[in-house]
Chain A
Amino acid sequence: MWQHVLTIFIASALINNFVFSRYLGLCIFFGVTKKMETAVGMSFTFTMVMMIGAALNWLIYTYVMIPFQLGFLKIVIFIGVVAAFVQAADTVMKKIAPALYYKLGIYLALIVTNCIILAVPIINAEENYNFFESIALALGSGLGFSLALIIMASIREKLELADVPKSFQGLPISFVLTGLIALAFLGFSGMITL
């Protein structure tokens, strides 16, 4: 079983990287990668929310939704759970760690409506993963997203000095870059066969 957990972890971080091979979470990806500082802050917050959100959703899915045959309400309930949890985290953080709140608080609001946060519990539910597999998928996806953010931020900081044609400046060249990195990530495919 642990081998399977490790496989899921590596596969979700590299082979099925959410940004570069599933093309999810692109709005945050382009939004926060202008500066390394915001990218790192977002990575950290995102991974934490992803882990806790996946654990909560797994509990509710296994112990509430399956017994009541409510699988078809996945989207509604998962969004509700994540939103409630993030709101609570926001309030608690403001009180307990104000410094952390001012650094990471702005990302929390962005995360609520992120599609990767929703995609992970849905994948967990549809694949019928157990608790550890769900956590492995969440951690892997979080780290994979962090990796994508940090790679992109470091390139875009260098890009500021590059002589980019006017029509390609800003978002267009970032999309071109993302495509190139995605091609590079294709190299991971086949590393592990699930």
Chain B
Amino acid sequence: MFEQITQMLMNAFSHMLGAYLNKLAPMVGVGESAEAVEYVAPQIIYTGLIVLAALGIVFGIALAIVAARFVVKVDPKVEQVRETLPGANCGACGFAGCMGYAEAVVGNPDVAVSMCAPGKAPVAEKIAQITGKAAGKVDPKIARVFCQGGRSKSQRKFIYTGVMDCTAAVLAAGGDKSCEYGCLGYATCMRACPFDAIRMSEDSLPIISKEKCTACGKCVAACPKQVIELGLMSKAVVISCHSRDKGLDVKKKCQVGCIACGICVRTCPVDAIKIDNNLARIDHSKCITCGLCVKKCPTNAIHDYLLPRPKASIDPAKCVGIDVCAKVCPVNAISGDVRSLHKVDQTKCIGCGMCEARCPKKAITMVPAAGSAAGKTSEKEMAAV
């Protein structure tokens, strides 16, 4: 009885399937092939099913064997590190992409955890946690543009109408700018930036966002004039000029170029500035970012990224009138008799911070300026140029 029912069901099923496939056959073009099948016998369906299943099983087993035989042991730490990294594959670490660095930092004990420039300190800390290496201190870097001679402040040799790209413009007699060291302003760096950190000012100069820049160095590589360099974020006083022309020539070509007059060299309290090849350069290992050179520079070629600077403020409770601050102040902004409370003239104070560093009683604190109009550039632009 049971067998009969099963037989019946089987027959019905195979008939239905056969009929369905026959109906389908002309539509899917089964009949076209060399071994044309007009009527699909149930037998072919079974062989088809068996062959497909067999192929599937064979492939499955083969793949399983291959996977077992050629298994690559991946350290789970590598995957963790790779997830921590920003994933921009910028190559600033010197390895081929984030995966390359992740493998190197896990596998090689000599590779430091702080090499990811975009990731900065937080990523270095996380990698240190994963790999068990010492984090080391990361002083974040930022890209700095060594040119302030925008369109309004510099001269052009000729009118350039070619492709609006610095790399192309440079091919035309070194670019249209009369200063051969300056920024051409055709935004090649802006297009090269993978983090959208560069925008062009109205004066055709790149403005680098302090928040977005990760110091990956793509813009440095992209700039045909080598006008962008990576610098430490903390060393925020920069001579924004690359011109090695003689002072007179610089003056003719650009209003804000370094003319190598030497005033900054004499002004610097820590001898951090040297003139080399008609160009003043700051030794950033010595620089204390006091900003005195910025005030003295006759052409405004030195840029202070700390603007607006904080003002010194003396805590009356702590001041005992030692008078060191008044002596050390380069602009004589602090007055007061010995052994009595000293006062800071807020209009004179330039926020260099030298008094704060010297006060033995730690009575001086630098208070961030309230109004940002004090400086020669606004807060927004300072993050940038």
Is B71's CB within 8 Å of the partner chain A? yes
Is A77's CB within 8 Å of the partner chain B? yes
* Distance between A58 CB and nearest chain B CB, rounded to angstroms: 14
Is A68's CB within 8 Å of the partner chain B? yes
Is B367's CB within 8 Å of the partner chain A? no
Q: Which residue of B lies closest to A77 (CB)?
A: B55
Is A170's CB within 8 Å of the partner chain B? no
Neighbour of A88 across the interface among B30, B56, B62, B99, CB < 8 A: B62
Alpha-carbon separation in the docked complex, A126 to B96 (Å): 45
> Are A88 and B63 in touch, CB under 8 angstroms?
yes
A87 CB contacts on chain B under 8 angstroms:
63
Is A71's CB within 8 Å of the partner chain B? yes
B52 CB contacts on chain A under 8 angstroms:
73, 76-77
> Are A69 and B67 in touch, CB under 8 angstroms?
no
* Complex interface: stretch among A8-16, A18-26, A89-97, A174-182: A89-97
Is B283's CB within 8 Å of the partner chain A? no
B99 CB contacts on chain A under 8 angstroms:
102
Is A66's CB within 8 Å of the partner chain B? yes
Residues 121-173 of A at the B interface (beta carbon under 8 Å): 125-126, 128, 161-163
**Contact A94:B72 (CB < 8 A) given known A71-B35, A87-B63:** yes
Q: Which residue of A lies closest to B67 (CB)?
A: A91
> Are B72 and A95 in touch, CB under 8 angstroms?
yes
Alpha-carbon separation in the docked complex, A55 to B32 (Å): 23
> Are A73 and B35 in touch, CB under 8 angstroms?
no
Neighbour of A128 across the interface among B34, B47, B56, B59, CB < 8 A: B34
> Are A70 and B47 in touch, CB under 8 angstroms?
yes
> Are A92 and B59 in touch, CB under 8 angstroms?
no
A98 CB contacts on chain B under 8 angstroms:
72
> Are A68 and B37 in touch, CB under 8 angstroms?
no
A74 CB contacts on chain B under 8 angstroms:
33
Q: Mark A81-123, 1 if CB is under 8 A from B, else 0.
A: 1001001100110111010001000000000000000000000
Is B8's CB within 8 Å of the partner chain A? no
Is B165's CB within 8 Å of the partner chain A? yes
Is A64's CB within 8 Å of the partner chain B? yes
Residues 54-76 of B at the A interface (beta carbon under 8 Å): 55-56, 59, 62-63, 66-67, 70-72
Alpha-carbon separation in the docked complex, A113 to B33 (Å): 23
Chain A residues within 8 Å of chain B by Cβ, number: 31
Q: From DSSP, what is the main secondary structure of chain A's interface residues?
A: helix
> Are A66 and B35 in touch, CB under 8 angstroms?
yes
* Distance between B160 CB and nearest chain A CB, rounded to angstroms: 13
Is B163's CB within 8 Å of the partner chain A? yes
Is B263's CB within 8 Å of the partner chain A? no
A31 CB contacts on chain B under 8 angstroms:
none
Is B368's CB within 8 Å of the partner chain A? no
> Are A92 and B33 in touch, CB under 8 angstroms?
no
Is B168's CB within 8 Å of the partner chain A? yes
* Distance between B70 CB and nearest chain A CB, rounded to angstroms: 4
B172 CB contacts on chain A under 8 angstroms:
none
> Are B72 and A73 in touch, CB under 8 angstroms?
no
Q: Which of A74, A88, A92, A162 has the most CB of B within 10 A?
A: A88
Is A72's CB within 8 Å of the partner chain B? yes
Is B331's CB within 8 Å of the partner chain A? no
* Distance between B78 CB and nearest chain A CB, rounded to angstroms: 13
Neighbour of A92 across the interface among B25, B47, B66, B168, CB < 8 A: B66
> Are B165 and A92 in touch, CB under 8 angstroms?
no
A91 CB contacts on chain B under 8 angstroms:
63, 66-67, 70
A66 CB contacts on chain B under 8 angstroms:
35
Which of A's residues lie within 8 Å of B, judged by CB? 60, 64-66, 68-74, 76-77, 80-81, 84, 87-88, 91-92, 94-96, 98, 102, 125-126, 128, 161-163
